[in-house]
Structure 1
Amino acid sequence: MRKSTRIACTGTLATAVVAALSAFASDYFSAAPRTMSSPSAAVSAASVSAGVANNSRKVLPGSALRQASFDRFIVKYGDGTAARSSQTLLLNAINAAAMRAGVAGTKLSANGSSAALSMQYVRRLATGGDVIRLSRGLNQNEANALLAQLRADPSVKYAQPDYIKQRLDFTPNDPRLDLQWHYTHPTTGIKAPTAWDTSTGEGVVVAVLDTGYLDHADLNANIVPGYDFIIDTVVAGDGDGRDADAHDPGDWEGGGTSSFHGTHVAGTVAAVTNNGLGLAGVAFNAKVQPVRVLGHGGGYTSDIADAITWASGGTVAGVPDNANPAEVINMSLGGYGSCNDDPVTQAAIDGAVSRGVTVVVAAGNDNQDAAYHSPASCVGVITVGATGVDGARSYFSNYGAAVTLSAPGGNATSGSSPNDRWIWSLGNSGTQAPVASPAGDLMVGMIGTSMASPHVAGIVALMQSAAVGAGRPALTPAQVKTLLRTTVTPFTVMPPVSQSQGPGIANAAAAVLAATQDIPVDQGTLLDNRIAITGQTGATGDALLYKIVVPAGRTSLNLRTYGGTGNVSIYVAYERTPSATSYDRKSAKAGNSEAVVITNPAAGTYYLSVVGESPFANVSVMGLY
């Protein structure tokens, strides 16, 4: 069977199976999760939750408890008003408003006593408002009535309660969150708890194209219907071809064990969280759509391409339309060979991106340049390399200009304890066929770029949910890629230049915050006259934007790229963003030595788009006038 026709999941369970799948040039690793021979690597979800007292107060992530009583208010009267000049006149004015609102006078308390409402001046704020304390708390309706009267006074600039705010650093009560260093480590984790204060992925569907899924007590509530796209019954191993059942029957070969890889990946994306059971998912209020494309020995490119189309809302003949199209697709799979030689996969990805779907893929585990692997080298994808708890490149991770950024993927030689070597998620105790849930439910440690990729897919779900929640349009795949790259945590251990893995490690907190902000219309990195920007790196299809402001009276403008490796083209436009289809000038020779020269340029801003015709690294960009 030709290597180019089948794709292996980026992983396997043991050395023997790695060898058996070497023809597919991609693997992941497991911490002996099936035999339980390594207690640190596979743990019964039921056993860790048994006897754990759930006395945590459940607070919605990012939300304070609703305040029931208000006894302090901040009011700012305008300059020159009587209330502004005297504390006594201020209290008189507020008391008059309380009388008009019907909240002044006496009121029975809960113990049957009564007391007249009185007011005390507290202090003036640096911003100019005055803080007033009432002798009793007002309920929400009373507070609203008082504020309405105060705000009706044209001399009042503003009036509001002196709200009580609470800590929002949401910590789920899942008992084995402690294993998930990849979420919480201060320098090498993805900073998930801070991101959860803003977003938990609600309203977003993430399609996981993998081995399917297993019923699991820590996942079931977040599954939406998927599909089994494997046509070949030998590869499928479930006795039939394509159907609506995306359950994983096992992917063992010969006498080997099954990986249940899709369940581990799905758990990283969206394991049910704050349920007092097991561990947490990155986007735990998102939904996972399991799409089965990998079986015994991997999966066919043709099946995977159809699955990409279907998951993203496209039409596949003979398959019912997807009722829940995904906003994000994760593919922790790959095979040797450039995407230039895999136009079927590229076309499917192009279709998904055109429908606004972000496609996240694993870089691969061959310690090679990702440019020689598909879909890692495809245009338009977000390719994820792996790092360990030490922040260094995982020894197995693919690298190079095709890698967008890195995320925790584990590293068998790193970590202060055995648990820190692994990425922890969901699994099953079965060896070949799965053991039915809940008896077979496990928490399993694995390593690989297969594990890094779903961290980023989960972050994308958090970003999309945050953007929409902030009243902004959904992010485009290109915007997602830019925000992910510009919000990374810098590497604590820099990879060698020859083994680059993007600008750093995915930072969920920073990416989610960026997703809630306005994206500037006037984008682009500013070029200073005659000063080069060096070290520019990107994948095939990446477009890096620069701008230079040219004063009046200049006789020429030279915009150029040079040095480094790969192949770029440049597109230039005056006072607008250029593209490969809309530009004023371009230079598109082989290699990175490109130049556009404009004689007697008009004063104003010129924009330069550097587009990767192939992966490029360490390119310099310069503007001269």
Structure 2
Amino acid sequence: MTTHMHNTTRTVLACALGAALLAALSVSTSVSAAGTGVAPPMRKFTLPKPAAEASFDRFIVKTRDGIASRSASPSLDAVNAAIARAGVGGITLAANNGAVLKVERVRRMAVGADVFRFSRKLTRVEADAVLAQLRIDATVQYAQPDYRKQRLDFTPNDTRFNLQWDYTHPTTGIHAPTAWDIARGAGVVVAVLDTGYLDHSDLNANIVPGYDFIADPQVAGDGDGRDADAHDPGDWIGGDPSSFHGTHVAGTVAAVGNNALGIAGVAFNARVQPVRVLGHGGGYTSDIADAITWASGGTVAGVPANATPAEVLNLSLGGYGMCSEDPATQAAVDGALSRGVTVVVAAGNSNLDAANHSPASCKGVITVGATGIDGARSYYSNFGPTVAISAPGGNASSGSDPDDRWIWSLGNSGMQAPDPSPGGDRLIGMIGTSMASPHVAGIVALMQSAAVGAGRSPLTPMQVKQVLQMTATPFTVVPPFNQSQGPGIANAAAAVLASTLPIPADSGTVIANRIATATSGAAGDAKLFKIVVPAGKASVNLRTFGGTGNVSLYVARDRVPTTASFDRSSVKPGNSETVLIANPPAGTYYLLVVGEVAFGNVSVMGVY
């Protein structure tokens, strides 16, 4: 069970998943979308926008894999040849004291490309000539200037953007303005599985048709069962007010940005698909599972096909009980993942291990914990290895300014049924992991838009999770080990930039003979390790042990195993897995540790 507080001192008890469904702890106050009332100072962390670079002395060149060369540096050969063909190398300039152009290889990048520094800056014309020659070279995969980038930080003109510390705070926000210089979510649909949506002047333009999946008339409260109208009629119980929770969540994902009104969504050029699954008293697993399937492009009997399937699903909902005991939800999630759809889920607000909540503990989802403006774990947030990443969710006990304690998004002035828009439009401050999750869903939309915009394929759900975790901002206040919430706070700017670049494959963590290495992860996470075994050993014992949860072990020599392709495996309940190989051939042995459920502090060891 969870608590919604919509407007100060007003409380609603909500949500049942079977018996109890956790949606969000939300405490709120409201202001008008137009910006009436006293607002805190605008927070802008903006550097001047530089002019386009006119000259370059550093370039990045990547040769194709497998290129044979008589020299030790095929890329240097390609650069020198391109300079000669472009007629640049022999040019001397008085401004450069007549110096002939020279080239120095600086270093090899992690993506396999080489960085070169020229002895003088090339004009734009000269640089274009050299790059043109490099790009027609059959040995070159790509070539580009080593651009000098700065923070540009697009600041939208939304009238209450000053409330959105969660986007702009330099150490505890998600760095949205910097991300917006690369992508704003265009072309991506995010499905919000929640209480439905309200007509709101700061959201209407970004809505695509959704669906109402609530079949039970008492839960639905609208008298018409499942249908194509996903509007939220209110989720009040007794005399308590409605939360209009889905509209708040949808606003964080994609409220219309730069429209001189209200606030901006994280991905304000993306589209929101409202999918109604929560009503009076919450919602049933059967409805939620069907909604996951439909929103991700699957087929649901009796429901028209989704004309605009989502690339990202946000589920700011959940209930107590492990996902291993909720196979219907896991099956729906598996289907969404198989269609390439990323599923983002709130961790829950019980201050408990998220491994005991569903869908937070389902395999393959990205489970999000909450932080406050102080950069610490919010006191209510669920935690543990299941939590993949954290994001601002607000915290009523942190922040020197009262407005800094909330996550501000869209709401309504109605007490039970909504008041008509635009008169009923409001901005509402709430707190909860329900507020953290749509920050991440919005970031995923930015990532996918950026990847496609850079000419790359959309990221897989596994790659999305990898990028979010490797680009996270460290916590200002690190949670204790037994209350972990992933590697840090989601960083939109870093994640979006990384999505435009090749994503390096996991090469594995090296483990040494007889030394245990600890690892933790969520259900479905795969952690790769490797150990080099010399020739002449009588045996090698590869094992996992200790910690919490349940892992399986897959092993292969001189190649990375998968759960479907491996040399040997150990799959038993618990964490004590062993692969013993007699007279092992010399080589690098890769160990893939896979979480059957969330696992924590599991030791990985190789002994030969």
**Preserved CA contact (<8 Å) 1:9 1:210:** no
Superposed CA offset, 1:321-364 (max 9, x none): 00100111000011122212211111111111111111111111
Partner of 1:539: 522
| In structure 2, distance between residues paired with 1:483 and 1:367 | 27
Query: Match for 1:280 among 264, 274, 292?
Result: 264
**Preserved CA contact (<8 Å) 1:237 1:296:** yes
Q: How does 1:214-225 map to 2 (within 5 A)?
A: 214-225=198-209
Superposed CA offset, 1:207-254 (max 9, x none): 000011111111111111111111122211222111111111111111
Partner of 2:276: 292
Partner of 1:95: none
**Preserved CA contact (<8 Å) 1:83 1:90:** no
Partner of 2:226: 242
Shift of 1:388: 1.0
Corresponding letter in the other structure for 2:34: A
Shift of 1:175: 2.3
Query: Match for 2:561 among 578, 588, 598?
Result: 578
Corresponding letter in the other structure for 2:387: V
Corresponding letter in the other structure for 1:624: V
Partner of 1:42: 30
Corresponding letter in the other structure for 2:33: A
Partner of 1:257: 241
Partner of 1:622: 605
| In structure 2, distance between residues paired with 1:86 and 1:410 | 59
Corresponding letter in the other structure for 1:369: D
| In structure 2, distance between residues paired with 1:235 and 1:506 | 34
**Preserved CA contact (<8 Å) 1:386 1:393:** yes
Query: Match for 2:416 among 427, 432, 449?
Result: 432
Task: Please give the secondary structure, in 2, of the residue aligned with 1:169.
Answer: coil
Shift of 1:503: 2.0
Corresponding letter in the other structure for 2:174: I
Superposed CA offset, 1:492-517 (max 9, x none): 22222222222222121222222222
Partner of 1:311: 295
Q: Does 1:480 align with 2:464?
A: yes
Q: How does 1:503-518 map to 2 (within 5 A)?
A: 503-518=487-502
| In structure 2, distance between residues paired with 1:131 and 1:413 | 55
| In structure 1, distance between residues paired with 2:191 and 2:317 | 13
Partner of 2:593: 610
**Preserved CA contact (<8 Å) 2:4 2:13:** no
Corresponding letter in the other structure for 1:604: G
Query: Match for 2:94 among 70, 81, 87?
Result: 87
Superposed CA offset, 1:23-71 (max 9, x none): 6262534444xxxxxxxx31111244999xxxx9xxxxx998899xx9x
| In structure 1, distance between residues paired with 2:583 and 2:559 | 18
Task: Please give the secondary structure, in 2, of the residue aligned with 1:415.
Answer: coil
| In structure 2, distance between residues paired with 1:328 and 1:612 | 23
| In structure 1, distance between residues paired with 2:574 and 2:354 | 19
Greater mean alpha carbon deviation, residues 172-181 or residues 42-51: 42-51
| In structure 2, distance between residues paired with 1:193 and 1:230 | 37
**Preserved CA contact (<8 Å) 2:506 2:528:** no
Q: CA-atom RMSD, angstroms?
A: 3.7
Relative distance call for 1:517 and 1:606 in structure 2 (3 A) is farther
| In structure 2, distance between residues paired with 1:503 and 1:89 | 48
| In structure 2, distance between residues paired with 1:277 and 1:581 | 52
Partner of 1:37: none
Relative distance call for 1:129 and 1:250 in structure 2 (3 A) is same
Relative distance call for 1:73 and 1:572 in structure 2 (3 A) is closer
How many residues are paired up? 550
Shift of 1:11: 4.2
Superposed CA offset, 1:258-289 (max 9, x none): 11100100011111111111111111111110
| In structure 1, distance between residues paired with 2:3 and 2:193 | 12
Relative distance call for 1:255 and 1:486 in structure 2 (3 A) is same
Query: Match for 2:432 among 435, 442, 448?
Result: 448
**Preserved CA contact (<8 Å) 1:566 1:615:** yes
Partner of 1:26: 22
Q: Among the aligned pairs, what percent are the same residue? A: 69
**Preserved CA contact (<8 Å) 1:338 1:374:** yes
Q: How does 1:99-498 map to 2 (within 5 A)?
A: 127-129=118-120, 168-498=152-482
Task: Please give the secondary structure, in 2, of the residue aligned with 1:24.
Answer: coil
Shift of 1:129: 4.0
Shift of 1:417: 1.1
**Preserved CA contact (<8 Å) 2:390 2:490:** yes
| In structure 2, distance between residues paired with 1:485 and 1:213 | 30
Partner of 1:569: 552
**Preserved CA contact (<8 Å) 2:171 2:375:** yes
| In structure 1, distance between residues paired with 2:38 and 2:564 | 61
**Preserved CA contact (<8 Å) 1:489 1:507:** yes
| In structure 1, distance between residues paired with 2:384 and 2:397 | 22
Task: Please give the secondary structure, in 2, of the residue aligned with 1:549.
Answer: strand
Q: Does 1:596 align with 2:579?
A: yes
Greater mean alpha carbon deviation, residues 17-26 or residues 174-183: 17-26
**Preserved CA contact (<8 Å) 1:9 1:298:** no
Shift of 1:437: 1.4
Unaligned runs of 5+ in 1: 1-7, 33-40, 57-61, 92-124, 133-142, 153-159
Shift of 1:203: 1.2
**Preserved CA contact (<8 Å) 1:312 1:352:** yes
**Preserved CA contact (<8 Å) 2:25 2:433:** no
Partner of 2:532: 549
Unaligned runs of 5+ in 2: 59-81, 99-115, 134-143
Corresponding letter in the other structure for 1:590: P
Task: Please give the secondary structure, in 1, of the residue aligned with 2:540.
Answer: strand
Shift of 1:530: 3.5
Greater C-alpha Rg: 1
Relative distance call for 1:148 and 1:271 in structure 2 (3 A) is same
**Preserved CA contact (<8 Å) 2:12 2:240:** no
Relative distance call for 1:203 and 1:86 in structure 2 (3 A) is closer
Task: Please give the secondary structure, in 1, of the residue aligned with 2:475.
Answer: coil
**Preserved CA contact (<8 Å) 2:12 2:242:** no
Relative distance call for 1:126 and 1:428 in structure 2 (3 A) is same
Relative distance call for 1:77 and 1:557 in structure 2 (3 A) is closer
Corresponding letter in the other structure for 2:252: T
Shift of 1:308: 0.6
**Preserved CA contact (<8 Å) 1:49 1:175:** no
Relative distance call for 1:146 and 1:229 in structure 2 (3 A) is closer
Superposed CA offset, 1:91-112 (max 9, x none): 9xxxxxxxxxxxxxxxxxxxxx
Relative distance call for 1:305 and 1:15 in structure 2 (3 A) is farther
